[in-house]
Amino acid sequence: MPHTKTLDPDAVRKANADLQESHKDDTQFWSDHPDGQLTTSPEDRKLRKEWMRAYKKELGAQAKFAAQPVGSTCACATASGAHAPKPEAPKDNASLPREPKPNPKIVCGLVSAEITCQHGRKSGPSGLLEVVASGVGDTVKCTSAIKGGCGSHPKWTIDGYWKSEKIGTSATLNAINWRNWDAPSALPGLFNWAGDLRPHEYSIGVECCSGASRSFDVSCYPSDSTEVSFQMPKELKSLEEEFNDALKEILDPSFKWEFATGAAKFNAKWMEVGAGDPYKDKFRAYYKWTLSVGFNPLVSLKYRQKLGPLAALPPELARFGTAYFFVEIKGEINLNATGQKTSPDDWDLKDEAEGTLRLTLGGSAFLVNEDVLSVEVAGYSGFTVNAEPEWEGEKPAMKIGTQWDGIKAYCTFKAMFQSYNREFTLVDEHQFNDVIWPKWGEDENRTTAATAGER
């Protein structure tokens, strides 16, 4: 019966195990050799040399390789006790031998896994990724690196609108938000604040035969945007002018009423934290809004009451010249606000409301025409009140400032279309201390004291 020389099975197994152990964290090795076995390709030349070194080392330790008939078992020594000749090593470009026994079950292991949205943003440390999907969705890529390869892993389990399973080192998910509006509302069925919208949730899990598994969560928000703006319609402005003209005829030509001169604008939409944003958690999304309000004035009123014998002259005569004392009242309220939400946790709002009230006492006279020859001397005083937001912890309050404008006087003289104006300060203005309202701390203390008294 012919005899051939074969390799020691135990040494082969040990060399295979040593090679796989030394490359257990080498993702490229396991990607090229899913079953852990080498090939005869030139790319495996260095790996085959590494395998031969491990095989010879094990063979020298065991010293029990011998030539045996094909299919027979290996004897460690001859009957006389002499060792068999040293086997010939396979040539460098030869295929490395497989183990004579059936391969044991190949076990794979998960080295790493991650998910990435179509804008390149990755999940956070906890596995959360928040995305803002368009109408066709946001493609989320799932990738992994493994060692070994049993052929049945890694297995991805994706649960969202429905549950699915995928086999392979990568998978994809099309995240969609179908405007389910699962959010509380003050007016159910009529209005929903998109900032309170609960996202549609997806869960992703990946596992292999061995090693730790990994799980991820994807929160999907809609890309809808909202914009609201206000400006006094031209029709109402025309009505306001007609109303002023009527009151001027009834009361005085100096009467003027003005309302909502300005505009307000608000827009908002869900946004992803981008790579260029200073906010550190790039995997987050937030409801970004901007606000701009400017009404100067929101409302204003001016009225002058003439006093004295010449104040009652008919308009036909008074237009050629007159002289009178007067009392004038002027008041207005201005409202301005700007604000925006710049990140999931940061927002800024600046708003200020200011009201002024002025009382003026004086005298006025003119001849022929107010631009030809006129003089007016008066003194006035008033108050200015402004309010702006002031937060006490997480509780909103207002800081109210009040100022007395002092007492001032002015003189205006016009002659032949030339004018002279001079203003004097008789008493300086005075700023009162700011007031915070409401006083949350004091209210809580009073409530606590009252409760203790009842006990």
267 and 149 together in one domain: no
Residue 350: the pLDDT is 81
304 and 361 together in one domain: yes
64 and 145 together in one domain: no
Residue range(s) defining the domain that contains residue 87: 1-104
Residue 189: the pLDDT is 43
Q: Kindly state whether residue 229 falls inside one of the protein's structural domains.
A: no
Q: Kindly state whether residue 239 falls inside one of the protein's structural domains.
A: no
| pLDDT tier at 215, thresholds 50, 70, 90 | very high
Is 29 buried (19+), middle (13-18) or exposed (0-12) by CB count in 10 A? Answer: middle
316 and 372 together in one domain: yes
Domain stops at, among 104, 130, 158: 104
Q: Kindly state whether residue 242 falls inside one of the protein's structural domains.
A: no
Q: What is the CA radius of gyration of the chain?
A: 44
Q: Kindly state whether residue 238 falls inside one of the protein's structural domains.
A: no
* Phi, psi angles (nearest 5°) of residue 13: -60, -40
361 and 414 together in one domain: yes
343 and 441 together in one domain: yes
| pLDDT tier at 323, thresholds 50, 70, 90 | confident
Q: Kindly state whether residue 322 falls inside one of the protein's structural domains.
A: yes
Residue 172: the pLDDT is 94
Domain stops at, among 223, 245, 272: 223
Give the CATH number of the domain where residue 176 resides: 2.60.40.10
Average pLDDT over residues 271-291: 89
127 and 216 together in one domain: yes
What SS3 string covers 210-246?
A: ECCCEEEEEEEEECCEEEEEEECCHHHHHHHHHHHHH
Characterize the bridge pairing of strands 418-427 and 347-367: unpaired
| pLDDT tier at 395, thresholds 50, 70, 90 | low
pTM reported for the whole predicted model: 0.57
Nearest to 55 by CA among 96, 106, 4: 96
Q: Kindly state whether residue 397 falls inside one of the protein's structural domains.
A: yes
23 and 85 together in one domain: yes
User: Does 214 score more than 90 pLDDT?
Assistant: yes
133 and 218 together in one domain: yes
DSSP string, 259-289: E--EEEEEEEEEEE--TTSS-S-TT-EEEEE
Domain stops at, among 62, 87, 104: 104
353 and 445 together in one domain: yes
How many distinct structural domains can be found in the chain?
A: 3
**Residue-wise pLDDT tens digits, 310-322:** 877 777 777 788 8
Q: Kindly state whether residue 369 falls inside one of the protein's structural domains.
A: yes
User: Does 201 score more than 60 pLDDT?
Assistant: yes
**Residue-wise pLDDT tens digits, 87-139:** 454 544 444 555 444 445 667 889 999 999 999 999 999 999 999 998 889 99
The residue with greater pLDDT, 435 or 181, is: 435
Angle of helix 45-62 relative to helix 9-22, nearest 10 degrees?
Answer: 130
Q: Kindly state whether residue 48 falls inside one of the protein's structural domains.
A: yes
Is 299 buried (19+), middle (13-18) or exposed (0-12) by CB count in 10 A? Answer: middle
Planar angle of CA 178, 183, 189, nearest 5 degrees: 85
278 and 374 together in one domain: yes
394 and 371 together in one domain: yes
